[in-house]
Homo-oligomer: A and B are copies of this chain.
Amino acid sequence: MVRIKKSPSQNISIEDVAKRAGVSITTVSRVINKLPSVKGKNKQKVLDAVKELNFQPSVLAQRLATGKSNVIALVVPRYEGMFYSFYLLELLRGIGTLCEVLKLDLLLRLTDASSVISFRGVGGVIFADIITNRQQLEQALSQKLPVVVINNYVKDLDVTCIAVDNKLGGIQAVDYLVSLGHKKIAHITGDVITQAAADRLAGYKEALVKNNIALRQDYIFQTDYSRGAARIAAEKMLKMADAPSAVFVASDSMALEVMAVARELGKKIPEDLSIIGFDDNPSGLYGAISLTTIRQPLVKMAQESVKELNQLMASKNKEVKKIILPTELVIRESCQSI
């Protein structure tokens, strides 16, 4: 029998270190895991050997042995709108950066809502939103995995959620417009299959009611977050006999499109039409007049999610939190009092 030990593998193992340091592999293991029990002298020998051999423990073996994993999967529903916005980019920036710091491995999974995901070897999961892929979330939960959901407040499931208060955002937008004297306020929605868009719409409605303004169905234009849809909606809206004097648009990139359409139709902004967006997308800063908008803390949300997940993964007590981050009105130049 006796299998010949593999060719002097490129990767040096804990055994090599042990030999080099003249101790057992257990001792080496203790040192690299920072267990306090190893005495100064041996410890130093190990440390030296590690340095000299440039040893890096095999994460795989560690995981296999401990059953623990420092891999977190980021599940991104392959939803078209995901690639229109800068949402994903901001998320990635926040999550990726923090993972790098916390030494977590970030596994990216762009999945179709219907597919069943394998979470083997994964220590925790972040859902970059829930869009028709609720079953994947339930699957992860049923496997007792630590899970955090971003951008979606899942109230009926025992899972940690970190979302933006989109409804509040909608209210802030409309309240501001009302404070400027507007009564004829339209809303161009995002794709209402996303909770974010639905909530913004809900906020819009609630604020109107609160301000004693009658809700007009013909002032609500549903889109899918794309600029193309925004253009169509804007044209329809601006050509109305009784066109609105202000519009709350569900995303900055769409708002920019609306602005462009308005100009093409000879409308001046903000004189003829006040526009408020949503996102605080830097693109809104440029252009003839800068875009008033509702800021949502995307990067913060992303980073919080990693922190929370990390905690869930580390501790035994699985305390579920529901975190809602507030939005903020950012006043620039695209709105004017009437």
Q: Which residues of A contact B (CB under 8 A)?
A: 6, 9-11, 56-61, 63-64, 67, 69, 74, 76, 78, 83, 88-90, 92-93, 96-97, 99-100, 105-111, 115, 118, 120-121, 143-144, 227-228, 231, 253, 257, 260, 263-264, 282-283, 285-288
Could you say which residues of chain B place their CB within 8 Å of the CB of A285? 227-228
Contact between chains at A108 and B106 (CB < 8 Å): yes
Contact between chains at A60 and B64 (CB < 8 Å): yes
Contact between chains at B288 and A227 (CB < 8 Å): no
Q: In the complex, A240→B90 CA distance in Å? A: 37
Could you say which residues of chain B place their CB within 8 Å of the CB of A288? 260, 263-264
Number of identical monomers bound together in the oligomeric complex:
2
Contact between chains at A105 and B106 (CB < 8 Å): no
Contact between chains at A286 and B257 (CB < 8 Å): yes
Could you say which residues of chain B place their CB within 8 Å of the CB of A59? 120-121
Closest approach, in angstroms, between the C-beta of A210 and any C-beta of chain B? 34
Closest approach, in angstroms, between the C-beta of A79 and any C-beta of chain B? 11
30 contacts between A and B (CB under 8 A): A9-B67, A56-B120, A58-B120, A59-B120, A60-B121, A61-B64, A64-B64, A83-B89, A83-B90, A88-B89, A88-B92, A89-B89, A92-B92, A92-B110, A96-B109, A96-B110, A97-B110, A100-B109, A100-B111, A106-B107, A107-B107, A107-B108, A227-B283, A228-B285, A253-B283, A257-B286, A257-B287, A260-B287, A260-B288, A264-B288
Residue in chain B with minimal CB distance to A143: B10
Q: In the complex, A64→B58 CA distance in Å? A: 9
Q: A64-B61, A107-B107 are in contact. Are A93 and B83 (CB under 8 A)?
A: yes
Could you say which residues of chain B place their CB within 8 Å of the CB of A107? 105-108
Q: In the complex, A69→B59 CA distance in Å? A: 12
Residue in chain B with minimal CB distance to A115: B100
Could you say which residues of chain B place their CB within 8 Å of the CB of A74? 108
Closest approach, in angstroms, between the C-beta of A3 and any C-beta of chain B? 12
Contact between chains at B110 and A227 (CB < 8 Å): no
**Among candidates B6, B118, B264, B283, residue contacting A56 with C-beta atoms closer than 8 Å:** B118
Contact between chains at A108 and B110 (CB < 8 Å): no
Closest approach, in angstroms, between the C-beta of A111 and any C-beta of chain B? 6
Contact between chains at A227 and B282 (CB < 8 Å): yes
Could you say which residues of chain B place their CB within 8 Å of the CB of A282? 227
Q: A56-B118, A60-B121, A260-B286 are in contact. Are A144 and B110 (CB under 8 A)?
A: no
Could you say which residues of chain B place their CB within 8 Å of the CB of A64? 58, 60-61, 64
